[in-house]
Amino acid sequence: MELQEIVLRMERWRGKFERKAVEAAVERREEITPELLWLLDETTNRAEELAPEGDWIGHLYAMCLLTQFRELRAYPLVLRFGRLPGKLLDELCGDFLTEDYEKVLASVSGGDISGIQSLIQDESVDVWVRSVALSSLLVLVAEGQRSREEIVDYFRRLFRGGLERKLSYVWTSLVNCSCDLYPGELLPDIERAYRDGLVDSSQVGMKDVERDLARGKDWVLARLVNGGRHRLIDEAAEHIEKWCPAEVPPASVKWSPATSPVRSTPKVERNDPCPCGSGKKYKKCCGA
């Protein structure tokens, strides 16, 4: 398959997952990488034009493949993409943003967290991107690329002046991520955040924090490493296929990144216990 054909097949939704194009891209990694970088950059540059069209999907293929390749040149492009306005990101990514963008960030960062930190601490960045950027640091800890102690120290700096002190989902995510690393050393800062009204207690409450404290550091860290959520992307195809069901949908249905993927297991409802084993409700944990 010629390079141009691979790119054309991945650019737009044509009613099916382009597995052969992905396989060809993996086989021709060195040649296709500049094209994938271009696809991602082009999406950011033309986001206002492409988002309303509803069938542009090249950036998802590009991000997942570049992630599998651990392509460091993608890092600044992925960061720039994350600075798009929230409305455009929702149109271009849907649930990909909250489910896979953290893995993309971690996978192309090479362990360099400075760019991720710039997203987290920039008030002009969409709140969901900032929250997902926090979660990407957990991926790096789970994969052994950054130490728990280093990230806990960074979280402490966020609690103590690194974030604007106003109610925001970023604060809620910070507490959630602190719990996922074991919140012991950060407990005074977490308690102050609740007293100051910065955290949405309907998403994560002090009882959730206390539950993880009671379980102990070893149990909580084992959940982080073995839970499966905070992992790098090794196989682009399986991640892309979630958003691009292999079967052709009815002609009247236009593809959207927010379209629910085909599930092989029963759907976890928002009020069900989270399958990761945290003891929290799904809506307050992996479904947040």
For residue 174, being part of any structural domain is answered with no
For residue 196, being part of any structural domain is answered with no
For residue 30, being part of any structural domain is answered with yes
Per-residue model confidence as pLDDT tens digits over 3-16: 999 999 999 988 88
Q: Which residue has the tokens 């691009």?
A: 244
pTM of the model: 0.84
For residue 135, being part of any structural domain is answered with no
Q: What is the structure's pLDDT at 283?
A: 43
Tally of domains within the chain? 1
For residue 84, being part of any structural domain is answered with yes
Phi, psi of 12 (to 5 degrees): -130, 155
Alpha-carbon distance of 201 to 57, in angstroms, equals 36
Alpha-carbon distance of 100 to 132, in angstroms, equals 9
Give the pLDDT mean for 102-127.
Answer: 97
For residue 127, being part of any structural domain is answered with no
For residue 68, being part of any structural domain is answered with yes
Lowest mean pLDDT, pick from 3-17, 110-124, 240-254:
240-254
The yes-or-no verdict on residue 125 having pLDDT over 60 is yes
For residue 207, being part of any structural domain is answered with no
Range of the domain at 19: 1-100+234-250
Percent of the chain surpassing pLDDT 90 = 73
Per-residue model confidence as pLDDT tens digits over 45-92: 999 999 999 899 999 999 999 999 999 999 999 999 999 999 999 999
